[in-house]
Amino acid sequence: MSRRHNGEGSIYPVKDGYRGYVWCINPGGKRYRKYVSGTTYEDTQAAWLKLRDEASRGIVASDVPLLEQFLHYWLEEIVEPNLAPKTYEKYETFSRLHIIPHLGKKRVDRIQVKDLRQWLNKLSRICQCCTQGIDAARAEEKRRCCATGKCCHEVLSAGTRKDARNVLRAALNCAIEDQLISHNPAAVIRLSSRRDPKRKRLSWTVEEARRFLESARRDDDVLYPAYVLVLVLGLRKGELLGLTWELVDLDAAELYVGEQVQRVGGQLLRRETKTETSEAPLPLPDLCTAALKLRRQQQDANREQAGDAWIDSGLVFTTLHGTPIEPRNFNRSFDRRIRQAGVSKITVHGARKTCGSLLAALDVHPRVAMQILRHSKIAVTMEIYTEIPSAATRDALRKLGRWLGE
């Protein structure tokens, strides 16, 4: 091995093998001894050389926490004060359910790529219902699978495992910034992007969108104007429920998305949208202008009926008493309308892809569609436009336009 200089450190025999130390500088600027050990001289020497190399490049942490301890620190001191509440909720959930139970007792600087591969493979095999006691938490008469000895094999999807990897990677990047580790083992993990054959359909055809809106209009569904904005403007659920009249200009036929409504940690929050792009003005096609005028009439009637019980929130879409709509209730209404319309089941978020198809079939100029969809690159918008089967789609939308214009 290379010659050790005076004051650099030492390797010496101990009862169960060998031990060595290197003089290091901790983040507080204090000089201290950091130790390594091994059963053979060669193993100890290799660990000692690695530590000496790290010490020669700068600060080496003296007290490296367990991953569980570090994740709690990261969530409370880094994520919660600086990121959106919904992001914190997601990171906390993934840490608590999928990372800490499997990797939490490992020291941050001793997590290896091999450990992470084994962890992700395990997540693809273990039943979450069994692991988290989901079925056991149900009332006894409602238990139907794991708690009754009939495992439902609810393993995490490839997308959820990828999300878990991303959360851990973000945390370990912070550990690098805190000089606890020199590299991020999660950064080299590559996960398959193959689609799950059982994955649910994500969007509608234009004909299905027409049938959905027609069903809502025919039944005088109070959320019909909201459905129009979701499908034609591609508003996200939180943006839709946080839309205020102050940022709607029907004369200029445009609106601004400035706030969103989200349920986070048991609280219903109104907060600013996350990017400047989200706050750019959106041009209103005639379909949307008509829907918003109808919504104003509905809300005026609700205000008159509620009288002194009315709460003026300034929101476009509210309950009968003017308060914000609970996002989960909107989901239930959306799902119920899907069943009544007899169309394929998709999520509210999935309607954004349908929005692109509707705009293309409406012959909206790609640059205007790019502004509505809030794509950062025109190429992304053009990919949607080239996917449209022109004749059938345009014919269906002409029917939709005639019907909405009545």
In tens, the pLDDT along 357-395 reads 777 776 677 777 787 777 777 777 776 665 554 565 555
- Give the pLDDT band of residue 406 (cuts 50, 70, 90): very low
CATH number of domain containing 168: 1.10.150.130
Residues 24 and 167 in one domain: no
The percent of residues in the chain predicted with pLDDT above 90, rounded, is 39
| Structural domain includes residue 193 | no
Same domain as 363, residue 261: yes
Residue 310: its pLDDT value, please?
Answer: 94
Amino acid at 338: I
Are 255 and 330 found together in one domain? yes
On whether both 94 and 164 belong to a single domain, the answer is: yes
Highest mean pLDDT among 7-11, 62-66, 389-393 belongs to 62-66
Q: Which residue has the higher pLDDT, 341 or 47?
A: 341
Domain edge (last residue) among 131, 153, 188? 188
Q: How far apart are CA 81 and CA 85, in angstroms?
A: 9
Query: Which domain covers residue 183, as residue numbers?
Result: 67-188
Residue 317 has pLDDT above 70, yes or no: yes
Per the domain annotation, does 3 fall within a domain?
A: no
Residue type present at position 67: L
pLDDT tens for each residue of 101-120 = 999 999 898 899 999 999 99
Strand order across the 282-283 sheet: 248-249, 254-255, 282-283
Determine, yes or no, domain membership for 104.
yes
More confident position, 193 or 146: 146
Residue 177 lies in a domain: yes
* Residue 123: Cβ-neighbour burial (10 angstroms; 0-12, 13-18, 19+): buried
Residue 399 or residue 82, greater confidence: 82
Evaluate whether residue 87 is within a structural domain. yes
pLDDT at res. 187: 93
Under 8 Å CB-to-CB from 53, ≥6 apart: which residues? none
Query: Within this chain, do residues 237 and 302 fall inside the same structural domain, yes or no?
Result: yes
Is 50 in the same domain as 84? no
Phi and psi at residue 283, to the nearest 5°: -70, 140
* Mean pLDDT (whole number) for 250-261: 88
| 150 Cα distance to chain centroid | 31
Same domain, 230 and 356: yes
3-state secondary structure 99-134: HHHHHCCCEHHHCCHHHHHHHHHHHCCCCHHHHHCC
Strand partners, 178: none
Residue 396 lies in a domain: yes
Same domain as 316, residue 171:
no
| 73 lies in the same domain as 112 | yes
According to the model, what pLDDT value does residue 196 have? 53
Residue 40 lies in a domain: yes
pLDDT reported for residue 353: 74
Give residue 297's pLDDT.
94
Domain co-membership, 173 together with 268: no
Least confident of 96-100, 145-149, 237-241, 301-305: 145-149
- d(CA 258, CA 253) in angstroms, rounded, equals 16
pLDDT the model gives residue 296: 95
Please check the confidence at residue 87 and state whether its pLDDT lies above 70. Answer: yes
Give yes or no: residues 163 and 182 share one domain.
yes
Is the pLDDT at 179 greater than 60? The verdict is yes
Looking at residue 264, its amino acid is: V
Q: Using CB atoms within 10 A of its CB, is residue 282 exposed (0-12), middle (13-18) or buried (19+)?
A: buried
What's the pTM value of the predicted model, to 2 decimals? 0.66
Angle at 252 between CA 248 and CA 254, to 5 degrees: 45
Residues 253 and 315 both lie in one domain: yes
Count of structural domains within the chain: 3
Does an H or E element contain 227, and which?
A: helix 224-233
CATH number at residue 384: 1.10.443.10
In a domain, 200, yes or no: no
Average pLDDT over residues 156-163: 90
